[in-house]
Amino acid sequence: MHNLAIAPLSGILPITEPPKQKLHQTQLFEVAVSISINGISQAVMMASPEHLKDFALGFSLSEGLINSCNDVLDIIVHSHQCGWQVDLQVLARVQHQLKQRRRTMAGPSGCGLCGLDSIEAAMSLNVPQDQTTKTLKLPSEQVIIQAKDALPRLLKSSGGTRGNHCAAFFDLSAHIVAFREDVGRHSALDKLLGCLSNKKQATNEGFVLITSRCSHDLIAKAARLSLTTLVTLAQPTDLAVSSARKTQLALFCFQHGQLKRYA
């Protein structure tokens, strides 16, 4: 048998790795944040590591864990090897109410949920009794657009991080009152709600603008804090619209660049 020599093929270049491109260092920070009340863990959330006291207060209020910032004696932030822990020190009666709630919500389900009770809790819209009697002071279309156009300048001047969600509260003349940002839209709103509660800001004297779409849970959070007007930069879900109408929350959203009122 003859040994055949294999001739090299012409015109075929050797396989080489593509040149490596230098990637930009991301500036979007995300950490685990454990929220506890009187030392008892309530939730672990992923959030940006700024304004954690506002976040814990806003989350506790918007989720109905506490009724008022007057229930809180102190907020203590601890660094942790895997993230951050924020502990709210609350009045004894508030802790008792929380224990009763946790006992009611406990269930035997192996998946960690408690069946219908969990669904009902997720769908609940706990509106303060005085919410339905408040006179709505709605911003004009011009004011909402003016606030939207001012948001990029506001973020740039305050050192905001591109890519984060922003939640801002404007008065009825489009003047900024407060804003917070976070990698998550829910956390951004919670931080803003905590900030507004600390300032004792009257929430019916302006509106919240969020750089995200609108879902039911944002409506539920806004309603629990007696907000009267919510504006988002993307269209709402059908459930969000239904929930906004039930809570008498004025809902404005931008769809394809056009401002529309949904509720």
User: Is-same-fold flag (31-123; 141-261)?
Assistant: no
Q: Which CATH architecture has domain 141-261?
A: 3-Layer(aba) Sandwich (3.40)
Please, what's the b/e burial string for 229-255 (b: 16 or more CB within 10 A of its CB; e: otherwise)?
A: bbbbbeebeeebbbbbeebebbbbbbe
pLDDT at 162: 79
166 is catalytic: no
208 phi, psi to nearest 5 deg: -100, 135
pLDDT at 158: 73
Domain ranges of the chain: 31-123, 141-261
Helices then strands, each counted (H, E), the chain: 7, 10
Beta partners for residue 245, in sequence order? none
Q: 13: how many CB neighbours lie within 10 A of its CB?
A: 5
Q: Tell me the C-alpha distance between 250 and 261, whole Å.
A: 8
Reference 195, options 176, 173, 215; nearest CA is 176
Q: Tell me the C-alpha distance between 36 and 30, whole Å.
A: 19
Reference 62, options 171, 209, 202, 216; nearest CA is 216
Instruction: Map tokens 């304004």 to a residue.
Output: 51
**Surface-to-core class of residue 86, CB atoms within 10 Å of its CB (0-12 exposed, 13-18 middle, 19+ buried):** buried
On whether the pTM is more than 0.75, the answer is yes
CA atoms 181, 185, 191, 194: torsion sign: positive
pLDDT at 214: 96
Of these residues, 69, 82, 111, 166, which one is catalytic? 111
Question: What is the residue-level pLDDT of the chain in tens, covering all 263 positions?
Answer: 455 454 454 555 555 555 555 545 567 899 999 999 999 999 999 999 999 999 999 999 999 899 999 999 999 999 988 899 999 999 999 887 887 666 444 433 333 334 435 666 667 776 665 555 557 789 999 999 999 999 988 888 777 777 899 999 999 999 999 999 999 999 999 999 999 999 999 888 899 999 999 999 999 999 999 999 999 999 999 999 999 999 999 999 999 889 999 99
CB 35 within 8 A of CB 86: yes
Task: Extract the tokens encoding 90.
Answer: 């609350």
176 phi, psi to nearest 5 deg: -70, 135
Identity (one letter) of the amino acid at 263?
Answer: A
Local structure of residue 70 (DSSP, 8 states): G
CB 145 within 8 A of CB 259: yes
Identity (one letter) of the amino acid at 166?
Answer: C
Q: 146: how many CB neighbours lie within 10 A of its CB?
A: 15
Local structure of residue 236 (DSSP, 8 states): B
Q: Tell me the C-alpha distance between 236 and 155, whole Å.
A: 24
- On whether the 31-123 domain is CATH 3.40.640.10, my answer is no
